[in-house]
Chains A and B, each alone.
Chain A
Amino acid sequence: MTARVYIPADMLSLALGADEVAKVIAETAKDTDIEIIRTGSRGICWAEPLIEVETGAGRVAYGKVSADDVPSLFAADFLGGGAHKKCLGPVNEIAFLKEQQRHIFKSCGLYAPCDLTSYAANGGFAGLRAALAMNAGSIIDEVEASGLRGRGGAAFPAFIKWRTVMGANKTQKYIVCNADEGDSGTFADRLIMEGDPFLLIEGMVIAGLATGADKGVIYLRSEYPVARKVLEQAITTAREQNWLGPDIQGSGKAFDLSVFVGGGSYVCGEETALLESLEGKAGIVRAKPPLPALEGLYGLPTLIHNVITLCAVPEIIAQGGEAHAKLGVGRSAGTMCFQLAGDIKHGGLVEVPFGISLRTLLDDFGGGTRSGLPIKAVQIGGPLGAYLPPHLFDTPLTYEAFADLGAGLGHGGIVVFNERADMRAQARYAFEFCTHESCGKCTPCRIGSVRGAELLTSSTPDLGLVDDLCDVMVAGSACAMGSMTPIPVQSAMTHFPDEFGVRATQAAE
């Protein structure tokens, strides 16, 4: 019987030497009947490269495997699931994975990313098959029933955008996937694009059928070179198998797709800047209205969603919106793909329904810090997200609870900082990042960020002035870049006042 070994080929595993591991295993086993399958990642980042072997009792995992481990793995009969110090047991029994409720990531890491047959065999295209037999209105009804909200940060109800684009009376419309999510601590998009690209393609085709768009573009960050290769290959394969093209599966319905690689600008993750960039211009934000749903790419109706939002669609259509709505809490429906990053022992992708607490994520899934030092703060939602101290870690992870804290969930990235973190330096960095990335269109963002960084260079900054500056940026900026930069700054000032010296205004009183 052929022994099957699964070795991830996502960007992280490659960074940690997975190619070398695969090469040495292939060389060592050259006289053995063995098949090496390069897969996506399971998102168990702390154990990468995590390789799996198929046994009679399911797949057995070996974590943190290096090329040096290969001789001893063979000596321990790892092809038969043998005991070894790197053995993690059956992969589905690893607590980090077992305690999750995976929907979007249910197949990620199971098979080669561009293996369309395996994708279909694991429930792939069930949503699209169903959608091909439905009318546009009923597809959108299911999206409405699901309670799906945009996963990119704004959490806007998806169906409203869909219905707006569907109702727009134009012959050419577009589906644009925003894969330019550049928040630090965020890698769910990368993992799914590198591991299960047909899911994104399927979601985009369904969105096209529902809204009447026959063209799609994935705007991909240039920082994700592996995702680019995988997506381009997956699109070619989907075309060959007639899941993209002028007559999808003989339905007479058309949809095609291309990948656009960005230029390394964070602001292009803002939807109107992204459209400008696609049109060949600098990524400078547009005033809204008009909404992109009515006047988007080239002035035509455009549905823009982030990667994870589109990846949620196939299951919603296959199983009905109600099933999705039952997951989560209240208006935070479905699952959220959290990402544990920074100084964390068990970092990686954690997909769970909305509503669990930050503490559960950090302690039960994350296992505390990698360094062993106490946690001082976490930043949630990327460079525009709040810094929160441990006494707030019991907050349930829902859009509503975080809005009450003046924070957001953003894209679900959670960066852990240990007690050595310098919170004034982190606050100053928030301004510096804004200076670097500001598109320059509006003054509060372009100049406010420079002045803010200057103010926080002092060890006893005038915090009253910083607050005033933040008020101006919140009220007067054209997009989230300027209006949300104050969130990390002011949350750090509120929760860690000791590190900002005495408030100058208080001292004057």
Chain B
Amino acid sequence: MTRWNEKTSRALIEETHKRGETLTMALRALVDAFGYVDEAAIAPLMQTFARSRAEVLGVIAYYDDFRTTPPGNHVVRLCQAEACQAVGARELTAHVCKKTGLELGQTSNDGALTLEGVYCLGLCANGPAALIDDAPVAELDTDRLDAKLAALTS
């Protein structure tokens, strides 16, 4: 993931449109590249896809994946769904929230860490599971997850 820049953003939007793809695909390309959709990308998206500002913002707001602020340097997504609940995901989430001082959906003030919930990673036979910066982890307990989190900051 790289820092947002105007030129790349415009190029990604253009390429998506040229391939005959839609607004949601352009948003996916921006989030894959920068981790979020910058405010400065809204006007080019409106022009390219002939949609109003309200429509573009509505689509962004609808999808959990399409953030409008940069995520933290590290993003930890803890599975909140039933199969992980059945093996202690609620307790694990409470532990992490307490330890980091963050609620799900929040980013730390120093921008180091974003904590998010996710609804099912398909690792349901081996929960609790999480994605740490796109690397899957499973069979978590507090010790194992604490070690993974400590490794992020060291």
Contacts and interface: CB of A to CB of B under 8 A. Distances in A.
Interface of A: 11-12, 14-16, 45-46, 48, 182-187, 189-190, 222-226, 260-266, 277-284, 339-344, 347-348, 370-371, 379, 382-383, 413, 415-418, 421, 426, 429, 433, 436-437, 439
Contacts of B129: 15
A114 to B, nearest CB: 20
Contact of A280 (B24, B65, B121): B24
B101 interface: no
10 contacts: A11-B122, A12-B122, A12-B123, A185-B124, A223-B122, A260-B25, A263-B27, A263-B28, A280-B24, A342-B82
Given A263-B24, A281-B59, A186 B65 contact: no
B121 A223 contact: yes
B23 A280 contact: yes
A281 B124 contact: no
Given A223-B120, A280-B24, A421-B86, A16 B138 contact: yes
Interface string B82-97: 1111110000000000
B119 A433 contact: yes
B33 to A, nearest CB: 13
B82, B129, B136: which has the most chain A beta carbons within 10 Å?
B82
Contact of B66 (A183, A263, A418): A263
Interface string B56-70: 001100111110000
B124 A342 contact: yes
A341 B66 contact: no
B82 A187 contact: no
A266 B139 CA distance: 24
Given A15-B136, A263-B24, A45 B125 contact: yes
A16 B65 contact: no
B81 A184 contact: yes
A384 to B, nearest CB: 11
A263 B28 CA distance: 7
B152 to A, nearest CB: 16
Given A48-B126, A436-B119, 8 more contacts: A14-B135, A182-B120, A183-B120, A263-B24, A265-B62, A265-B64, A281-B23, A426-B85
A184 B135 CA distance: 19
Nearest to A440: B62
B59 A184 contact: no
Interface of B: 22-25, 27-28, 49, 51, 58-59, 62-66, 81-87, 118-127, 129, 131, 134-139
Nearest to A224: B122
A438 to B, nearest CB: 11
A387 B128 CA distance: 20
A436 B139 CA distance: 26
A347 to B, nearest CB: 3
Contact of B134 (A12, A182, A225): A225
Contact of B138 (A15, A262, A371): A15
Contacts of A263: 24, 27-28, 62-66
Given A15-B136, A265-B64, A280-B22, A343 B123 contact: no
A186 B22 contact: no
A341 B63 CA distance: 27
A305 B127 CA distance: 28
Contacts of B66: 263
B122 A187 contact: yes
Contact of B64 (A185, A224, A261, A264): A264
Nearest to B61: A282
A182 B125 contact: no
Given A263-B62, A280-B22, A413 B124 contact: yes
A183 B84 CA distance: 12
B125 A347 contact: yes
Pick from B64, B81, B119, B124 the residue with the most CB of A within 10 Å: B124
A46 B122 CA distance: 14
A383 B126 contact: no
Contacts of B124: 184-187, 339, 341-342, 347, 413, 415
A261 B28 contact: yes
A197 to B, nearest CB: 15
Nearest to B117: A436
B77 to A, nearest CB: 9
A344 to B, nearest CB: 7
Given A15-B136, A265-B64, A279-B22, A186 B120 contact: yes
B82 A383 contact: yes
A186 B58 contact: no
A184 B119 contact: yes
A154 B131 CA distance: 30
B138 A222 contact: no
Contacts of B136: 11-12, 14-15, 226
A341 B83 contact: yes
Nearest to A371: B87
A260 B120 CA distance: 19
Chain B CB within 10 A, most for which of A15, A189, A281: A15
Given A11-B136, A187-B124, A265-B63, A342 B87 contact: yes
Nearest to B77: A223
A92 B64 CA distance: 42
Contact of A429 (B49, B59, B63, B85): B85
A48 B137 CA distance: 13
Question: By CB atoms of chain A within 10 A, which of B24, B58, B137 has the most?
Answer: B24
Q: Which of A16, A263, A283, A371 has the most CB of B within 10 A?
A: A263
Contacts of A280: 22-25, 49, 51, 59
Contacts of A283: 62-63
Contact of A416 (B51, B86, B126, B137): B86
A144 to B, nearest CB: 32
B82 A185 contact: yes
B84 to A, nearest CB: 7
B30 to A, nearest CB: 12
Contact of A11 (B65, B81, B123): B123
Contacts of B85: 426, 429
